[in-house]
Amino acid sequence: MRLKAITTGLAVIALALTATACGSSTANANTIKIVYRVYSDFPQMDDFMKSVKKEFEAANPGVTAQLDPITALDDYVTKVQLMQRSPSTAPDVLFEDSFYVNADAAAGYLLPLDDRLKSWPDWNQQFIDATKQAGMAADGKTYAVPMSTDTRGLWFNKTVFTRAGLPTDWQPKTWDDVLAAARRIKETQPDVE
């Protein structure tokens, strides 16, 4: 229950931070347009965003959060890219994967949130540095607040590593480490895929 409250609170705060950082692209300056994905295998996202909208509007009288859900991953990316090409169609708040932040910031689609994050106590109390970096672009500015995360891992076969002369307690630090191990395995065991 506490996790849900924290997550909802973070999303509401993220909406508030972003809404105040951006000028509204909609005709009504008191309306913020929020674009997010709706997943067929995760219908709770739509329910979650509706609850965030309700909470945000209650905390910000006179401001309307206009939800603009988009289904299907390919449609979402294409539609958001097209929307962002014009200030009249660009969303004020959008849900996107962290790997888009740098390109969107460089293109001028996003505004930095650093000044607003300084006055948000949870930013330093609830987020670890690695999580904060997910919303940071190459210019060192923060353009996004994480709402959720996933776990990514890399598994390897210790027997294959042993045969390649690689350590079985391998812990790569860079992608170059991963590529070097892959090359070594390919050299010593060309049949391994």
Q: CB–CB of 96/144 below 8 Å?
A: yes
Is 90 exceeded by the pLDDT of residue 74? no
Instruction: Provide the residue type at 43 as one letter.
Output: P
108 and 165 in one domain?
Answer: no
Phi (first) and psi of residue 82, to 5 degrees: -70, -40
- CATH code: domain of residue 101: 3.40.190.10
pLDDT of residue 150: 67
**What digits encode the pLDDT tens for the residues 18-51?**
444 444 454 577 999 999 988 888 888 889 999 9
Q: Which of 116, 133, 150 is the last residue of a domain?
A: 133
27 and 118 in one domain?
Answer: yes
93 and 19 in one domain?
Answer: yes
116 and 40 in one domain?
Answer: yes
Residue matched to tokens 């996107």: 96
Is 146 part of a structural domain of the chain? Answer: no
The larger pLDDT score, comparing residue 151 to residue 97, is at 97
Helix (H) or strand (E) holding 49: helix 44-59
Is 193 part of a structural domain of the chain? Answer: no
113 and 71 in one domain?
Answer: yes
Q: Using pLDDT thresholds of 50, 70 and 90, give the confidence band for residue 154.
A: confident
Number of domains in the chain: 2
CA atoms of 168 and 19, how far apart (whole Å): 49
Helix (H) or strand (E) holding 34: strand 31-38
Is 141 part of a structural domain of the chain? Answer: no
Is 145 part of a structural domain of the chain? Answer: no
The two beta strands, 93-94 and 64-71, are unpaired
Helix axes 44-59, 2-21, angle to 10 degrees: 60
Domain extent, residue 101, equals 2-133
90 and 176 in one domain?
Answer: no
Is 80 exceeded by the pLDDT of residue 149? no
27 and 112 in one domain?
Answer: yes
Is 114 part of a structural domain of the chain? Answer: yes
160 CB neighbour count, 10 Å cutoff: 15
Helix (H) or strand (E) holding 188: helix 175-188
Q: What is the mean pLDDT of the chain?
A: 84
115 and 171 in one domain?
Answer: no
Most confident of 7-11, 35-39, 116-120, 147-151: 116-120
